[in-house]
């Protein structure tokens, strides 16, 4: 998708601080981190969201790649604790319509998540 910012990052057209990469996915530091470690994991191929991934024949392969990325990021950042968050759709807070996961570590989100659930 020519106007997708994450496609441009995935294809090297826009610079990003890449921390992990394979031929299928790329992981880079979020420009507006909410925690000491805030990395975005995206497929290089454009998929709009989790719903599109669910109907893709690549779903198992891409999810395996995401799992491998989380393990690599745990090693890189010396942690075993993290949140892996996906916002699917505008009403869920998705602002870039290219499938992505937020790998967040270094902050306890338990109380924030509980408060949001009660709101």
What is the chain's alpha carbon radius of gyration, rounded to the nearest angstrom?
14
Of 30, 9, 47, 14, the closest CA to residue 85 belongs to 30
38 included as an active-site residue = no
Of 97, 79, 81, the closest CA to residue 89 belongs to 97
Instruction: From the candidates 38, 46, 98, 100, give the one annotated as an active-site residue.
Output: 100
Burial of 43 (0-12, 13-18, 19+ CB in 10 A): buried
Q: Which long-range contacts (CB under 8 A, 24 or more apart) does 55-61 make?
A: 61/24
Active-site residues: which are they? 100
């Amino acid at each position: 998708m020519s106007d997708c910012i994450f496609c441009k990052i995935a294809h090297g057209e826009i610079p990003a601080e890449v921390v992990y990469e394979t031929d299928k996915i790329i992981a880079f530091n979020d420009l507006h981190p909410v925690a000491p470690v805030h990395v975005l994991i995206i497929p290089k191929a454009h998929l709009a969201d989790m719903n599109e991934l669910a109907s893709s024949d690549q779903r198992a392969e891409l999810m395996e790649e995401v799992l491998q990325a989380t393990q690599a990021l745990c090693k890189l950042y010396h942690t075993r604790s993290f949140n892996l968050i996906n916002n699917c759709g505008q009403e869920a807070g998705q602002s870039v319509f290219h499938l992505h996961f937020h790998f967040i570590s270094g902050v306890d989100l338990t109380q924030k998540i509980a408060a949001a659930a009660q709101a």
